[in-house]
């Protein structure tokens, strides 16, 4: 699948679908070798590919928040992911003073996604946030970024190596 960042309009969401799905649902290029697992079974691959591709759009701007119902209504979108960090800046809801405003925006995005039968997702740095947003219907959670996982692994290995010298 694909996660398209900074989708702020229904038109951008439709472009994401068009670029991600094969004809007749989109205009994605086939790339025959890789697409079919280097086995050149293109007809078989194309028969099932559109059903396996996940098209996710990330809503993380004030414009995207204002357009969320139209974005969620775009055929071919599977998942709407809340980009809470950038959204908080875009709607002037940074820090503790902006918590209520940001939470209301997140609830609005999750609600619009669910109303159109889409999966709703969000970044959750703590298990408590998974429970909170899951209770509102979100079911896709990103728990850390690749750099966060790499940093945590490096820190753990560094600490273990230092302990070996003690």
Over the stretch 114-145, which tens digit does the pLDDT of each residue have? 999 999 999 998 888 999 999 999 999 999 88
Angstrom distance (rounded) from CA 165 to CA 117: 55
2-165 folds as: TIM Barrel (3.20.20)
Whether residue 37 is predicted with pLDDT greater than 70 in this model: the reply is no
**Mean local confidence (pLDDT), 87-98:** 98
* Pick from 64, 58, 103: nearest CA to 78: 58
**Edge-to-edge strands of the sheet including 2-4?**
2-4, 55-59, 79-82, 119-123, 140-142
Whether residue 30 contacts residue 85, with contact meaning beta carbons closer than 8 Å, is answered with: no
What is the structure's pLDDT at 40? 63
The two structure tokens encoding residue 128: 């408590």
pTM, rounded to two decimals: 0.87
pLDDT for the residue numbered 165:
95
E strands present in the chain: 2-4, 55-59, 79-82, 119-123, 140-142
């Amino acid at each position: 699948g694909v996660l398209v960042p900074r989708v702020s309009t229904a038109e951008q969401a439709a472009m994401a679908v068009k670029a991600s799905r094969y004809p007749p649902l989109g205009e994605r290029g086939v790339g025959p070798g890789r697409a079919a697992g280097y086995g050149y079974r293109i007809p078989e691959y194309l028969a099932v590919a559109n059903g396996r591709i996940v098209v996710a759009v990330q809503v993380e701007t004030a414009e995207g928040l204002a357009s969320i119902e139209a974005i969620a209504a775009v055929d071919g979108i599977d998942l709407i992911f809340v980009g809470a960090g950038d959204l908080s800046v875009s709607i002037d809801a940074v820090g503790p003073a902006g918590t209520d405003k940001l939470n209301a925006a997140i609830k609005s995005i999750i609600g619009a996604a669910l109303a159109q039968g889409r999966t709703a997702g969000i970044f959750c740095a703590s298990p408590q946030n998974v429970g909170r947003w899951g209770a509102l219907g979100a079911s896709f959670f990103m728990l850390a970024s690749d750099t966060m996982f790499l940093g945590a692994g490096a820190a753990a290995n560094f600490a273990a190596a230092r302990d070996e010298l003690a």
